[in-house]
Structure 1
Amino acid sequence: MDFSLIIGIVLGFGALLFGFSHEGGSLESLQAISSFIIVFGGTIGAVIASFPLHDVLQAIRGVIASFKVPHSGTTEQIINKISTISSAYRKDGVVALDAALQDSDLNKEEYLLLKEGLILIQEMLDPEDIQYVLDADIRSYKQKKMTEIRVFESAGGFSPTMGVIGTVMSLVVVLGNGFGDPAELATSISTAFIATLYGVGFANVIYLPIANKLKGVMKRSLVQKELIVDGVCLISKGSLPRTIENELSLYHQAFPDGQKRYRKGIEN
């Protein structure tokens, strides 16, 4: 599990609140329900108006799934499984694939593409045809993930604008009530700018970081999927398990702790 997103958001807001308090501001003065409703509600409404509801819900599910990001440990497991299947395939041919497809691990998210690839090998397709079909799956996956990313990037764009709208609305109300006590007027004007603060804060501490998080998860998932495509094609060509391990070990380098695993893979 990866909780860096939550940790980052908490630290971001914590730093902002600490800085505001350190400058002499009162945290209670930041509580403005009307500003929150205008900024948050307006942003959500604009996003829903911009995307099909299915895409918005899918984006939320994508954020939840991002807590389980691909890492090089999982990549190592995939390489080992591909190597094992390759060894059995060289020995027993297509019959070995029947046994491999019974493995419950292939029903897990990270192995579904491998399962599809083994089925294509069973159907006696050429490696080039197998790669074409699996690459199409990868393109579909990337398109879906890019939609999730655009949802939060759009929220990051709408939020500051909604903040400005909220501030303007508050100023209209304040100035419309006339120029009374200067101190009270100054307080009302400062309160009006809380909406702008909300809009910019939500965009840069929540929405845009989430979009960047989803980009990182997508890139690493694409690395694993490309690894699987190469592995399946090597299996279909009858490559030696050791050759497969060496070639696929290159993919370890796409992950933070992958360099060590890469060296381990080519030295074994």
Structure 2
Amino acid sequence: MTAADTRSGNRRAEAVPGRGGLPRLPGGGKRLDLATLLGLGAALLMILAALVLGGSPGAFLDLPSMLIVLGGSLAVTMASFSLRDMRAAGRCLARATVAPSEEVREVAHGVLALADFARKNGPLALQPLVGPARSQPVLARAIELIVDGLPAEDAEAILRTEIDANLARARAGAAVLRRAAEVAPAMGLIGTLVGLVQMLGHLDDPGKIGPAMAVALLTTFYGAVLGSMVLSPLAAKVERNAENEALVDGLYMLAAGSVARQENPRRLEILINTVLPRS
């Protein structure tokens, strides 16, 4: 991010002021993550198209097989984690299909604009932004610590603890999804073995062997689809979203320390450039 980029970002922040001429808060907005939705949708659509073109899509529907894979995967995953972890996974899953409306570099421009505003008007001038920033807990906490006049080292330590805790919770949710992705194919195999045993009980009727074998293999199909095409990609997206959120929160932490030390925003820009991913 060059000096020209910074000046451009500051002009954008001033051109869209908040209440009372305050700079616009960086980040906060959310949008649908089209990559996740399109990827999952396209994968499932191709499977469905292959079934329809094969001429017998109804043959791939079997309720007992679904119960073994879905119910078994959920039960085994619950046995591996606490109920708190399961609830965290549910929250992470709900956030896997959304992404920040601003890129990290746009957030960085907004952070520099806030630091420049605080340098010109004093840290107390940021106090009206605490309320509007509540949708971003780390940003709101950073502004509160700046307004309270906490030493830079203490503010950074508090924010770092909060960032690490948020990241740990997200990783715990992703671990639940990854465990479920591992269990689903195994439950599919168990269902297949159950189906094979049932099939062997009808060897006296050759006409039933083929259909019974097809039903037995459906659980493996369901387990592979659920684990590899749904749960595993969602777990990866949860981890990526958590890392991106931690990066943005880290920018807020750097800004809080810089403002508390009353440093020149130019130094903060140089520091931010060291942590931003290269474009």
TM-score w.r.t. structure 2 length?
0.79
1:232 aligns with 2:256: yes
- The correspondence of residues 148-163 of structure 1 with structure 2, limited to 5 A, is 148-163=173-188
* Residue matched to 1:145: 170
Q: 1:62 to 1:69 in 2, by over 3 A?
A: same
* Residue matched to 2:47: 16
Q: 1:85 to 1:21 in 2, by over 3 A?
A: closer
Measured on the aligned residues, the alpha-carbon RMSD in Å equals: 2.3
- The correspondence of residues 128-207 of structure 1 with structure 2, limited to 5 A, is 128-176=153-201, 178-207=202-231
Percent identical pairs in the alignment equals 23
Following superposition, the deviation at residue 218 of structure 1 comes to: 1.1
1:223 aligns with 2:231: no
Structure 2, unaligned runs of 5 or more: 1-31
Range with greater deviation from structure 2 (120-129 or 139-148): 120-129
1:108 aligns with 2:135: yes
* Residue matched to 1:262: none
Alignment length (residue pairs): 248
The 8 Å contact of residues 75 and 224 in structure 1, kept in 2 or not, is answered as no
* Residue matched to 1:211: 235
1:51 aligns with 2:76: no
Q: Distance between the aligned counterparts of 1:72 and 1:125, measured in 2?
A: 29
Following superposition, the deviation at residue 128 of structure 1 comes to: 2.2
The 8 Å contact of residues 77 and 179 in structure 2, kept in 1 or not, is answered as yes
TM-score w.r.t. structure 1 length?
0.82
Structure 1, unaligned runs of 5 or more: 260-268
Q: Distance between the aligned counterparts of 2:171 and 2:182, measured in 1?
A: 16
Deviation beyond 6 Å, 4+ runs, structure 1: none
Post-superposition CA distance 1:73-129 (Å, at most 9, x none): 4652x4344334323432343432334435x1x1122xx212212222334333222
For CA contacts below 8 A with separation 6 or more, give which structure has more relative contact order.
1
Q: 1:18 to 1:100 in 2, by over 3 A?
A: closer
1:86 aligns with 2:115: yes
